[in-house]
């Protein structure tokens, strides 16, 4: 099921700048009991991303209404929203009169194994690095070749997630998730001012940090050694919620109480699915 | 006029990974007297780009035949070829069975003013920087937000091209072109091992270098000071051919004989359009 500019259709003009340049932004949202979780936050980020790219964002009310149509009656599903700068000519110069394209698409809920949330996941370190560009950092935009290449790397262990580093060996995020550590009683997550996607679940964890740990969280530079020496590590995104990390490459980590407390809190608040 | 997988149509499935992730490559080719210039080179680069992204490239013969169809009877035009990894699900993981999408589209020839080639162009320095990622460097892929942002920067001088630097203040390329300087009797162009697009016209100039200057060319690190102190600077791409640079921001440059000699040679060889 897919709505393109409000109409049920599955094709779009091949002149769309989303296709030609990755000129747009997207959101991936968990649907539970007919409701898109944290929709207001997702729409807020979508609008903010459009603003940073100077794309005229659709009215949030329009997207909200289209989301409601596509979520109606769905017990579990995923909604992906995309907004592109719309159709254009051949060149990079945006057409001032172009109307943005909005796509609201529904996908089946991915049946992640319950063990991932309960017992944690083993992750690898990706060979593919993230380039740094402050102009694009944090935005969930459509230029995602780095993630595609990282996901496509051969992994004999078939692990569910890989950590991505920048060219200075700093851990930035997972291929599809953000990463946190708990050390010295405090939650820390990589600073995303030069690369990475600032996730909605990441924001929720940052906001819940003081409640769970008693301390303000920290956005800082982290390397692999910081992760493997931490008290706990975990991954976040809007679909998985929170997955503890039980191993990074050969190194086993402790699955601990902070990740569990955050899972409980954010599930109770309706920000995470039940499983 | 557009062919998608060989069929005359203008829409494609919104599930295409070119749209979702910029997961593909493209070529921009000048058409003159019904013929796509340097087609073999363009197809070679397209196939090489696909290989670097592990996309199963279409048969060059198929693309060649589709190009011929679309160029037939066109006195002057532009052909854009795109190959994406094809349709996929929601996630980054490439579907092993996905069939790549090929798009062959024709656009009107852009009527560049003759003065650009003859008298040179004034260029600005873009505020948008290029991120560095060796895995993607050189490939003409569909992740082009940096170029879109650079092109969208406000320029009161409405200059035709902007130079893009990386985060270490090295000049890498123009928004839509490669850049060369001539100094101490030798042609130099930025090293593209960490970012930038390795253009077909750039290759042709590198290959013609010894013939025109008597010396081997050099791919090296260049900064703005290297450009403004050079004997000549010029831009290259498959549509513009060679444009001398007559000014960088406030600094005027000499339009010199090396750019003119290369224009003459490559036009005679049929690699550049007549004007």
- pLDDT averaged per 10 residues in sequence order, chain A, 275 residues: 97 97 98 96 98 95 97 97 93 87 97 94 98 98 98 93 98 98 98 98 98 98 98 97 97 96 96 87
| Chain A contacts in chain B segment 192-211 (CB below 8 A) | 195
Note the CATH number of domain A2-108. 3.30.470.10
**Chain centre to alpha carbon of residue A253:** 23
CB of A232 closer than 8 Å to CB of A252: no
Q: Does B14 touch chain A (CB under 8 A)?
A: yes
Q: Does A153 touch chain B (CB under 8 A)?
A: no
Collapsing DSSP states into helix, strand and coil, what is residue B200?
Answer: helix
Which single residue is written with the structure tokens 């807020």?
A: A44
Active site residue A140: yes
Instruction: Collect the ranges in chain B with pLDDT lower than 70.
Output: none
How much is the CA Rg of chain B, to the nearest whole Å?
A: 19
How far apart (Å, rounded) are the C-alpha atoms in residues B170 and B199? 18
CATH architecture under which domain A114-268 falls:
Alpha-Beta Barrel (3.20)
Beta bridge partners of A62: none
Residue B88 has a pLDDT of 87
**Residue positions of B annotated with a catalytic role:** 28, 140, 173
In order of A92, B111, B139, B266, B268, the CA distances from B273 in angstroms are: 22, 12, 24, 9, 9
With contacts defined as CB-CB under 8 Å, which chain A residues touch B12?
A: 11-12, 14, 19
Encoded tokens for A73? 């009656």
H or E, element range at B60: helix B60-71
Residue B98 has a pLDDT of 85
DSSP string, chain A: -EEETTEE-SEEETTBHHHHH--EEEEEEEEETTEETTHHHHHHHHHHHHHHTT--PPPHHHHHHHHHHHHTT-SEEEEEEEEE--B--SSSSPPTTPPPEEEEEEEEPP---HHHHHH-EEEEE-SSPBP--TTTTB--BS--HHHHHHHHS--TT--SEEEEEBTTS-EEEESSSEEEEEETTEEEEE--SSSSB--HHHHHHHHHHHHHHSS--EEE---HHHHHTSSEEEEEETTTEEEEEEEETTEE----HHHHHHHHHHHHTTSS---
Shortest Cα distance, chain B CAs vs residue A163, angstroms: 14
Q: Which of A46, A94, A20 is nearest to B150 (CA)?
A: A94
Nearest chain B residue to A81, by CA: B20
Residue A8 has a pLDDT of 97
CB of A66 closer than 8 Å to CB of A103: no
Is B94 in Cβ contact with A20 (below 8 Å)?
Answer: no
The residue extents of the domains of chain A are 2-108, 114-268
Is A136 in Cβ contact with B131 (below 8 Å)?
Answer: yes
Beta bridge partners of A232: A182
Q: Which of A240, A260, A174, A178 is nearest to A30 (CA)?
A: A240
Residue A103 has a pLDDT of 98
């Amino acid at each position: 099921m897919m709505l393109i500019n409000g109409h049920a259709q599955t094709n779009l003009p091949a002149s769309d700048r989303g296709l030609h340049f990755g000129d747009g932004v997207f959101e991936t949202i968990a649907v539970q009991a007919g409701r898109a979780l944290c929709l207001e936050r997702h729409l807020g980020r979508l609008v903010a991303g459009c603003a940073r790219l100077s794309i005229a964002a659709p009215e949030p009310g329009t997207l909200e209404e289209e989301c409601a149509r596509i979520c109606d009656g769905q017990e579990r599903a995923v909604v992906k929203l995309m907004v592109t700068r719309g159709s254009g000519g051949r060149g990079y110069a945006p057409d001032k009169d172009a109307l943005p394209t909005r796509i609201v698409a529904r996908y089946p809920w991915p049946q992640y194994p319950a063990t991932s949330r309960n017992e944690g996941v083993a992750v690898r370190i990706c060979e593919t690095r993230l380039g740094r560009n402050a102009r694009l950092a944090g935005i969930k935009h459509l230029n995602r070749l780095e993630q595609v290449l990282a996901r496509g790397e051969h992994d004999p262990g078939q692990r569910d997630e890989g950590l991505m580093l920048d060219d200075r060996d700093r851990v930035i995020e997972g291929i599809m998730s953000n990463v946190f550590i708990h050390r010295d009683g405090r939650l820390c997550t990589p600073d995303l001012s030069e690369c990475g996607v600032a996730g909605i679940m990441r924001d929720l964890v940052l906001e819940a940090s003081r409640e769970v740990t008693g301390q303000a969280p920290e956005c800082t530079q982290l390397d692999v050694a910081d992760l493997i020496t931490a008290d706990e590590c975990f991954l976040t995104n809007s679909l998985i919620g929170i997955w503890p990390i039980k191993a990074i490459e050969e190194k086993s980590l402790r699955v601990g109480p902070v990740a569990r407390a955050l899972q409980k809190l954010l599930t109770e608040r309706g920000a995470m699915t039940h499983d």
